[in-house]
Amino acid sequence: MNNKPKYHLFKNTKYALSGLKHALKTENSFRLELFCAIFIIAGILVIDASLTYKLILLVTGILVLIVELVNSAIENVVDLVTKEFAPLAKTAKDIGSTAVMFTIILHLVCWILILWEVYA
């Protein structure tokens, strides 16, 4: 039996907004990164860089939020499976956190290289 419901644009949008609402309520890291995004967007608007560079900064900034949401989903699934300590559960959560860390590093490297190119 297929557990996958039919695709409906409005229902799927409702599910997505429900997930966003839940993340905003429960995920401190996501809220912090979303708060930082305000300053990142302001910085993108202020710097004297090409549109291509600005898009790179915007996309890598949004990527941080996306990966954080995926990490939160992984953590929720792991918590659903077991509340007790399990090495594989810890590894899954740690790898998700590593993905977030790498994405943040990528974003920071893009900022450094673009600022170096524009203002050096």
Structure tokens at 88: 């594989």
To the nearest 10 degrees (0 to 180), the angle between helices 28-46 and 9-26 is 100
Q: Give catalytic residues, as residue numbers.
A: 68
What pLDDT, in 10s, does the model give residues 71-101?
999 999 999 999 899 999 999 999 999 999 9
User: For residues 39 and 89, what is the distance between their CA atoms, to the nearest angstrom?
Assistant: 34
Residue 77, Ramachandran bin (φ over 0: left; ψ between -120 and 50: alpha; else beta)? alpha
Q: Which amino acid is at 110?
A: C
Structure tokens at 94: 């740690």
Q: How many CB atoms lie within 10 A of CB 103?
A: 21
What pLDDT, in 10s, does the model give residues 29-82?
999 999 999 999 999 999 999 999 999 999 999 999 999 999 999 999 999 999
pTM of the model: 0.91
